[in-house]
Amino acid sequence: MNYTHIGWTPCINGHLNFGLMTPGIFGSFTNSTVADKKRTTINYGYKYQDDHHARRIILQSKVDWKDTKNALSDGEFRVILTAEANESNNLDNRSIKGSVYIYPRNSEPSKVDDKIDLPWFNLIHPADKTLTAYREQEQSTKTAESWQKVQEQLNKAFESLEQAFINEHPIKEHYYKINFTVNSRGITSLLSDNCQDKTTEYIILRQAFYYIKYSLHSHKHHHAEEDSLTTIIQKNTSDTEKDEVGLRLIGQLKRELTSIKRTYSSGGSKVFCDEQGIIAYMNSFYTSLHKDQYLSDELYKREIIYLESMKSSFNVQTNKQNQKDHKTVEIKNTYRTVLALTLSGISILWLTVLQHFTLFSENTVNSTPLEFIESIIVFITIFVCLIFTYVTQVNRTIENTLDTEGLRTWVEQYYVTQDDDFKKQYRYKKLQAISIALITALIFFGGPLLVKALII
């Protein structure tokens, strides 16, 4: 089969496990209230025992691919995948081959009974119930004969699915069929079977690829807002053009790494070490492309060198950030210690010294409600002041410590400079720090007496 497009399903160890294939895309990307509790996973060994690697797979789910705010469109589609994994003792030679059927859900009959009566559902639902019932049985009750009967029913349903779409039904003019194959290294090839419009064909092929990809792969070393690190490109046949295909596929991951690096450089919010996961996958990707002759020996060696350089660059950047994070935590811990010691000192000072200056009336024996309110006000005043001092001093220390112009600050402090604006800015920061310290000390030692005097 002459497949027209190619993509890559991430596989870091070089051998995909087709026995774990299950719907990875279902429900909605844009609306969390849209769920799909009736999705189907039928994945079984069709030749020998249930867990044999020669498998047949039927997946079914509804997907909301809406990417527009147009109220007239809903973006909901039904996706049905059928695939067969070949039998081979050589892991390198294992692969799956199958078809994806996609159609808009609004083309289904409106009545539930009519919808259930669609020919493919007449095959999928009984098969799913049969397999589920068998697997829920006690292990001791399962026999080779009982599995053979279940296997025969599943195989019959699987082999009838393609014909179910060919026969007459209400959706015959509305569905798209995409043929595909995925080898053990994740190289995925696709071909549209019944779409004539080139623009629509690419969209359908791309959505089918994402469905296949996330049915086999679930670990994402990127952020949720990115639908995929790689997509499909048009496939060529000549040796020279195959190298071009390989480089274009690699270019998609390089683009993502560049985006992450720029995000780091500009102080963005992406989590550090995301790139390490992508680089690990790129190593496997290069090997897969080289094995399938989409990268020549020369290009493979060259790209591995580039990848190592990128990894080293990221390591330097990550180490710098780790040092900043460590220093920030260290500064915060230091000031927390100072804050705790200050509170302890104030408590001791109050109990041993300041309580003797508290004014009581001659007739007062026990504390009055007024004195309790005074204590609350004093406590809140001191607490707010401490928190303000802590936050201000921590931010100021972090700014000064992590400032890339720290050397210039030192030079400006001890040497003459011609930059008047910088001198004014530095003097302002210094005056601000001294003022905060003085006000804090004044409130700590004079606040309680001042509050007491004002209330009386």
Q: How confident is the model at residue 369 (pLDDT cuts 50, 70, 90)?
A: very low
Q: How many residues does the chain have?
A: 456
DSSP state of 365: -
The rounded percent of the chain whose pLDDT value lies above 90 is: 37
pLDDT at 450: 57
pLDDT at 362 over 80: no
Per-residue pLDDT for 407 more than 70?
no
CB 7 within 8 A of CB 230: yes
Count the alpha carbons within 13 Å of 155 in the hemisphere toward its beta carbon.
13
Please state, for a pLDDT cut of 70, what percent of the chain lies above it.
72
Amino acid found at 156: K
Average pLDDT over residues 400-411: 57
Task: Write down the pLDDT at residue 333.
Answer: 84
The closest of 177, 180, 225 to 204, measured between CA atoms, is 177
Helix or strand or coil: residue 183?
A: strand
Query: What per-residue confidence (pLDDT) applies to 70?
Result: 62
pLDDT-derived band at 221 (thresholds 50, 70, 90) equals very low
Q: What is the pairing mode between strands 187-192 and 176-183?
A: antiparallel
Is the pLDDT at 212 greater than 90? The verdict is: yes
Question: What does the mean pLDDT of the chain come to?
Answer: 80
Looking at per-residue confidence, does 133 or 256 come out higher?
133
**What's the token pair of residue 387?**
């928190």
User: Left, alpha or beta for 75 (phi > 0: left; psi -120 to 50: alpha)?
Assistant: left
Tell me how far apart the alpha carbons of residues 23 and 215 are, in angstroms, rounded to a whole number.
5
Q: Does the pLDDT at position 353 exceed 90? A: no
In this prediction, residue 259 has a pLDDT band, given cuts at 50, 70 and 90, of confident
- Residues 220 and 202: their CA atoms lie apart, in Å, by 24
pLDDT at 163 over 80: yes
d(CA 328, CA 326): 5
Of 228 and 335, the structure prediction assigns the larger pLDDT to: 335
pLDDT at res. 237: 61
Give phi and psi for 402, each to the nearest 5.
Answer: -95, 5
Q: pLDDT value at position 184? A: 95
- pLDDT at 313 (0 to 100): 82
Q: Which two structure tokens, joined as six digits, stand for 156? A: 């019959």
Q: Whose structure tokens read 């009982």? A: 146
Q: Contact 119/169 with Cβ under 8 angstroms? A: yes
pLDDT at 423 over 90: no
H helix intervals, 167-273:
198-216, 239-265
* Most confident range, picked from 125-134, 165-174, 244-253: 125-134
Written as six digits, the tokens of 394 are 């921590």
Q: Give me the pLDDT at residue 192, please.
A: 94
**With 60 as the cut, is the pLDDT of residue 197 above it?**
yes
User: What does the pLDDT average to over 246-264?
Assistant: 81
More confident residue, 427 or 68: 427
Residue 159: exposure state from Cβ atoms within 10 A (0-12, 13-18, ≥19): middle
